[in-house]
């Protein structure tokens, strides 16, 4: 029996709604620092209650809400675990599982449900949900997405027949038109078989893989009726909050038109439009008046730090913004260097990224010049909007939140395409003629040579071997290792130098509309091309199978047409990868131990495993191979260390 026949036999009746409430709400900080985004108040009551009311119009009888950030705030908001006499089940995620992982995590709570409604907890809408349920049942597919013809992020491609043929351009199919995904969908329980329990996973790669394997397998229905708002930034929240929510449309299902208006049914009524239910406020009780809550917007304006004021003044002057226009800065990333990044949101404009960098590290001063050069030679990097080198402020294009690391759990077919595109970009960088480089205009860090190679191996021995692994090398052993690593450096220096990124790992390759864009290139210099290849293909942040790694290396080999035969080319790759892994392991130890950024320590076990593997493949790095094995035996397993960061890692 075919899968489609099996689906037609399934129960398409939907009684349960799963509301995504576990996100961090980073774009709405500081409003969400102590409050989950779905609990921000609109019209005097939590945003999520509008979501639940909307679901009730479609016949929903119970709710499941996943939690992560400030979970006890949900207990305070819903002490009786119900809304409008419908029960609410809260499912906590100690580790944030992302959209697909969170869905799989509620599988055991579905009881007799054959299908369910899934709804992002930060959406405010009154579109007719009945059309979604009808389309889902009529289409007979595992999943049906709500789409809209207009919106801020149209990245769902429909073919000429109206079927979804691509998401975010990842399959390279532009389709006949683009639509916005509304963050609402109907899904069969059988869809959950595609997901692995406990896996941190986004829904997008799963859907893209379905489309790739079986075009037309992901359903969609365009619903342009009604209002729809993504409460994703402070300006949108302030506007919607001030309006007191949304008004009902006249196309609701029969039996619900006589309900009371959405506003005012939460305890306390419309007492304040600018507050949220905060986790750590002991005065909160089941029936309290929310007017006692802190008004976070007011707090942000009156207690703004001098540094934030300086940043906003820079942005305001460079974008020619009037004084009354609100600028919101939200920190992004947990990098390893003295650079800070902020997402800049301004009402009516696209978001930007502000980089603040210190002058203590020379390479930071090179970022803007290198960015302009790379754009001129056709290497994709962020657009620069404005730069103040004296204050170390740089305003640039916002590339979003997706990078190669984000896609680490996607199918290899999807990842392979992204890596192949990245290698094409890198080969363009490596092929640039050094004699044409504008040395008088663009400053670079000193190239790879005897001193830099020695610094990297000393960094590894000091910060990883001695301080993390607790291994002090004796005189004879250390001398033998130094001799071996000196030979390694001299072998790498014999390879003709090219322009190299130097930190080409998965979190420094952003993915914009399915294409790679390089970031954190301020350390670019002349050096060995195999160092970049080792950074990308022997990356401790992600897993790549050996056969897939070799195939990618072949891809670069065919793109670059090197002087070396394949065997020599592969041998140089392994040698340079060992050098790069020493540098990365030294950085993880330094950042984790000396700088207090403990999440970097979680990458050490995997980094050592890769160093053991690659030194074994060289056949000549016997001392380093033995040392890596000793180090691996001395460090805990990855599960005993803090999980890897969700975003950004800087190996310097």
Domain ranges (residues) in the chain: 3-140+183-195+234-291, 313-397, 412-640
Query: 82 has which bridge partners?
Result: 87
Helix axes 604-618, 566-589, angle to 10 degrees: 150
Within 10 angstroms of residue 639's Cβ, the number of other Cβ atoms is 8
Residues 383-395, mean pLDDT to the nearest whole number: 93
CA-CA distance, 102 to 65, in Å (whole number)? 10
| Residue 201 pLDDT exceeds 70 | yes
What's the rounded mean pLDDT across residues 451-455? 95
* Greatest mean pLDDT among 284-298, 407-421, 523-537: 523-537
Q: What is the pLDDT of residues 45-84, one digit of tens each?
A: 888 888 999 999 888 899 999 888 888 888 888 888 888 8
Question: 581 pLDDT exceeds 50?
Answer: yes
* 499-542 residue pLDDT tens: 999 999 999 999 988 899 999 999 999 999 999 999 999 999 99
452 against 30, higher pLDDT: 452
More confident residue, 186 or 77: 186
- What average pLDDT does this structure show over 247-253? 40
Q: pLDDT higher for 148 or 33? A: 148
**pLDDT on residue 244:** 62
Q: Which structure tokens are listed for 633?
A: 């035996």
Higher pLDDT, 153 or 533: 533
pLDDT of residue 271: 34
Per cent of the chain over pLDDT 70 is 83
pLDDT for position 282: 31
pLDDT by residue (tens digit) across 86-96?
899 998 888 77
Q: Which helix (H) or strand (E) holds 342?
A: strand 339-346
Torsion 406-412-413-417 (CA) sign: positive
How far is CA 599 from its chain centroid? 16
Identify the pLDDT of residue 195. 87
Which pair of tokens denotes residue 150? 């207009």
Cis peptide before 544 (omega within 30 of 0): no
What are the residues whose beta carbons fall under 8 Å from the beta carbon of 213, sequence distance 6 or more? none
pLDDT score recorded for residue 276: 54
| Predicted pLDDT at 519 | 94
Please report the pLDDT score of residue 10 as a whole number.
62
**DSSP string for residues in 353-422:** EEEEE-SSSGGGGGHHHHHHHHHHTT---PPEEEEETTTTEEEEE---S-BTTTTTTS-HHHHHHHHHHH
Q: Is 242 a residue whose pLDDT tops 80?
A: no
For residue 360, the tally of other CB atoms under 10 A from its CB is 7
Q: Is the pLDDT of residue 643 over 70?
A: no
The Cα–Cα gap between 600 and 591 comes to 7
Give the residue from 603, 598, 622 showing the smallest Cα distance to 612. Answer: 622
Is there a contact between 35 and 68 (Cβ–Cβ < 8 Å)? Answer: no
Q: Is 70 exceeded by the pLDDT of residue 285? A: no
Q: Where does residue 300 rank: exposed (0-12), middle (13-18), buried (19+ CB within 10 A)?
A: middle
Residues paired with residue 220 on neighbouring β-strands, in sequence order: 145
Residue 564: closest CA among 502, 501, 492: 492
Per-residue pLDDT for 3 more than 80?
A: no
SS3 25: coil
HSE value, Cβ hemisphere, 13 Å, CA-based, for 28: 27
pLDDT at 281 over 60: no
The answer to whether 499 touches 439, Cβ cutoff 8 Å, is no
The β-bridge relationship of strands 86-92 and 62-67 is parallel
Q: Are 307 and 286 in contact (CB under 8 A)?
A: no
User: Where does the pLDDT of residue 261 fall: very low under 50, low under 70, confident under 90, or very high at 90 and above?
Assistant: very low
* Predicted pLDDT of residue 28: 66
Confidence of residue 262 (pLDDT cuts 50, 70, 90): very low
Domain covering 3-140+183-195+234-291, topology: Spore Coat Polysaccharide Biosynthesis Protein SpsA; Chain A (3.90.550)
pTM of the model: 0.67
What is the number of alpha carbons within 13 Å of residue 99 lying toward its C-beta? 15
3-state SS class at 117: strand
Residue 626 has pLDDT above 90, yes or no: yes
Give the pLDDT confidence score for residue 294 in this predicted structure.
33
Q: What are phi and psi of 586, to 5 degrees?
A: -65, -40
Q: Give every CB contact of residue 108 below 8 A, 6+ residues apart in sequence.
A: none
pLDDT at 8: 47
Phi, psi dihedrals of residue 286, rounded to the nearest 5°: -60, -40
Higher per-residue confidence, 251 vs 220: 220
> Does pLDDT of 370 surpass 80?
yes
CATH superfamily of 412-640: Aminoglycoside phosphotransferase (APH), C-terminal lobe (3.90.1200.10)
DSSP-assigned beta bridge partners for residue 329: 344
User: Percent of the chain beyond pLDDT 90?
Assistant: 43
**If DSSP states are collapsed to H, E and C, what string results for 572-639?**
HHHHHHHHHHHHHHHHHHHHHHHCCCHHHHHHHHHHHHHHHHHHHHHCCCHHHHHHHHHHHHHCCCHH
Higher pLDDT, 238 or 579: 579
Distance CA 56, CA 15 (A): 9
Q: What is the mean pLDDT of the chain?
A: 83
Distance CA 117, CA 546 (A): 40
Give φ, ψ of 157 to 5 degrees: -90, 135
What confidence tens digit (pLDDT) does each residue in 99-136 have? 888 899 888 888 788 889 999 888 888 888 988 998 99
Q: Which CATH number fits domain 313-397: 3.30.200.20, 1.10.510.10, 3.40.50.300, 3.40.50.2000?
A: 3.30.200.20
Q: Does 245 score more than 70 pLDDT?
A: no
Read off the pLDDT of each residue in 177-187 and give the average, rounded to a whole number. 91
Asked if the model's pLDDT at residue 293 lies above 60, the reply is: no
């Amino acid at each position: 029996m075919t899968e489609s026949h099996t689906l037609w036999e399934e129960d398409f009746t939907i009684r349960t709604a799963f509301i995504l409430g576990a996100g961090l709400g980073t774009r709405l900080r500081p409003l969400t620092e102590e409050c989950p985004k779905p609990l921000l108040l609109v019209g005097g009551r939590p945003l999520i209650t509008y979501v639940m009311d909307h679901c009730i119009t479609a016949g929903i009888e119970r709710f499941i809400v996943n939690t992560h950030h400030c979970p006890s705030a949900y207990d305070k908001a819903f002490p009786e675990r119900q809304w409008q006499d419908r029960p609410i089940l809260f499912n906590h995620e100690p580790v944030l599982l992302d959209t697909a992982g969170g869905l799989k995590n509620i599988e055991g709570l579905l009881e007799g449900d054959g299908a369910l409604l899934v709804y992002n907890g930060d959406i405010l809408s009154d579109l007719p949900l009945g059309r979604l349920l009808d389309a889902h049942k009529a289409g007979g597919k595992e999943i049906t997405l709500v789409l809209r013809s207009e919106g801020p992020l149209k990245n769902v491609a429909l073919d000429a027949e109206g079927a979804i043929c691509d998401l975010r351009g990842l399959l390279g199919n532009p389709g006949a038109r683009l639509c916005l995904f509304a963050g609402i969908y109907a899904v069969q329980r059988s869809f959950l078989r595609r997901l692995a329990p406990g896996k941190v996973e986004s829904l997008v790669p799963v859907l893209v893989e379905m489309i790739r394997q079986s075009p037309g397998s992901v359903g969609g229905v365009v619903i342009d009726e009604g209002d729809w708002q993504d409460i994703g930034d402070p300006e949108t929240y302030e506007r919607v909050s001030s309006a007191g929510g949304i008004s009902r449309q006249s196309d609701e299902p029969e039996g619900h038109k006589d309900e009371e208006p959405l506003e005012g049914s939460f305890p306390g009524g419309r007492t304040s439009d600018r507050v949220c239910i905060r986790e750590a406020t002991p005065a909160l009780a089941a029936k309290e008046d929310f007017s006692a809550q802190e008004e976070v917007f007011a707090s942000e304006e009156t207690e703004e730090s001098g540094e934030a004021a300086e940043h906003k003044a820079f942005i305001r002057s460079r974008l020619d913004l009037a004084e009354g226009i609100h600028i919101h800065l939200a920190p992004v990333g947990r990098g390893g260097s003295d650079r800070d990044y902020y997402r800049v949101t301004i009402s009516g404009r696209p978001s930007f990224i502000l980089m603040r960098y210190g002058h203590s590290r020379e390479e930071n001063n090179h970022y803007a010049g290198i960015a302009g050069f790379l754009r001129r030679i056709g290497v994709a990097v962020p657009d620069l909007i404005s730069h103040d080198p004296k204050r170390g402020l740089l305003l640039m294009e916002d590339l979003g939140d997706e990078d190669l690391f984000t896609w680490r759990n996607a199918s290899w077919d999807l990842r392979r395409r992204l890596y192949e595109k990245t290698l094409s970009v890198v080969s363009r960088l490596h092929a640039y003629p050094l004699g044409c480089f504008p040395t008088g205009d663009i400053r670079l860090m000193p190239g790879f040579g005897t001193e830099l190679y020695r610094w990297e191996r000393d960094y590894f021995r000091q910060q990883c071997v001695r301080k993390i692994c607790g291994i002090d090398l004796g005189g004879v052993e250390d001398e033998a290792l130094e001799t071996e690593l000196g030979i390694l450096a001299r072998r790498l220096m014999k390879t003709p130098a090219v322009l190299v990124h130097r930190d080409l790992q998965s979190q420094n390759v952003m993915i914009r509309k399915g294409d790679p864009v390089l970031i954190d290139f301020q350390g670019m210099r002349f050096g060995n091309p195999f160092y970049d290849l080792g950074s990308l293909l022997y990356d401790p942040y992600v897993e790549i199978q050996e056969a897939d790694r070799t195939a990618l290396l072949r891809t670069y080999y065919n793109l670059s047409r090197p002087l070396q035969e394949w065997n020599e080319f592969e041998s140089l790759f392994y040698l340079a990868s060992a050098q790069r892994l020493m540098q990365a392991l030294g950085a993880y130890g330094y950042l984790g131990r000396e700088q207090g950024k403990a999440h970097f320590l979680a990458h050490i076990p995997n980094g050592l495993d890769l160093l053991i593997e690659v030194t074994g493949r060289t056949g000549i790095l016997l001392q380093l191979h033995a040392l890596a094995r000793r180090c691996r035996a001395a460090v805990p397993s990855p599960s005993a260390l803090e999980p890897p960061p969700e975003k950004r890692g800087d190996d310097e």
